């Protein structure tokens, strides 16, 4: 039994005394934290370039319904074919082409965003949120429900937190 303890302690000490063990003990947590922090930081970076997006709305539902932002501008094209834009895309001043197919009301994947670069998360989410809102409003109108009625029904609840001190007084936090 004494020999086993001696072998274990020797093996342990030879492993711990190595430079690689000491370096990885320090660098391991740093590398792990970097794998979490760096992608989050990159995703949250704001892109300040103005992006012009051409919209081909074959459904006719979203014409002038997707609002422009400071960095995203939408140009609605009538009587344009996707193939024409694709052929001349490098000459045009567009960041992307948004194609909305007529089947959008019953097929959520009927929206295509074509571009040379990968669109950022903020661009995709802005487009998706605007389209979801407009589709919701269209469906509500088709059932005879006005959005103003839904807004009047909606109630926000705000909770105030009040802390009792030791002497019985109230302190709002």
Q: Is the pTM of this model over 0.85?
A: no
pLDDT value, residue 158: 67
**Closest C-alpha to 106, from 73, 138, 82:** 138
Per-residue pLDDT of the chain (173 residues; tens, 9 = 90+): 788 888 888 888 888 888 888 888 889 999 999 999 998 887 777 767 888 888 888 888 888 888 888 888 998 888 778 888 888 777 788 888 888 888 887 887 888 888 888 888 788 888 888 888 888 888 888 888 877 777 777 777 767 776 777 776 777 66
**In Å, how far from its chain's centre is CA 163?**
37
Q: Where are the alpha helices (DSSP H) in the chain?
A: 2-16, 19-44, 82-87, 121-142, 147-153
Bridge pairing between strands 51-57 and 96-100? parallel
pLDDT value, residue 173: 63
Domains and CATH numbers, the chain: 2-44 (no CATH), 51-153 (3.40.190.10)
């Amino acid at each position: 039994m004494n020999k086993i303890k001696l072998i274990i302690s020797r093996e342990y000490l030879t492993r711990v005394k190595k430079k690689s063990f000491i370096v990885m003990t320090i660098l391991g947590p740093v590398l792990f934290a970097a794998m979490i922090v760096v992608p989050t930081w990159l995703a949250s970076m704001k892109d300040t370039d103005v992006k012009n997006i051409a919209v081909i709305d074959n459904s006719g539902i979203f014409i002038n319904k997707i609002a422009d932002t400071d960095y995203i501008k939408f140009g609605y094209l009538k009587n344009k074919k996707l193939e024409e834009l694709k052929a001349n895309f490098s000459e045009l001043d567009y960041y992307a082409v948004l194609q909305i197919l007529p089947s959008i009301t019953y097929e959520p994947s009927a929206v295509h965003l074509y571009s040379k670069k990968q669109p950022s998360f903020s661009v995709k989410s802005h487009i998706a949120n605007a389209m979801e809102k407009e589709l919701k409003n269209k469906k509500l109108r088709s059932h005879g429900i006005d959005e103003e009625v839904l807004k009047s029904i909606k109630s926000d609840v705000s909770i105030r937190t009040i802390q009792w001190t030791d002497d019985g007084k109230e302190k709002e936090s």
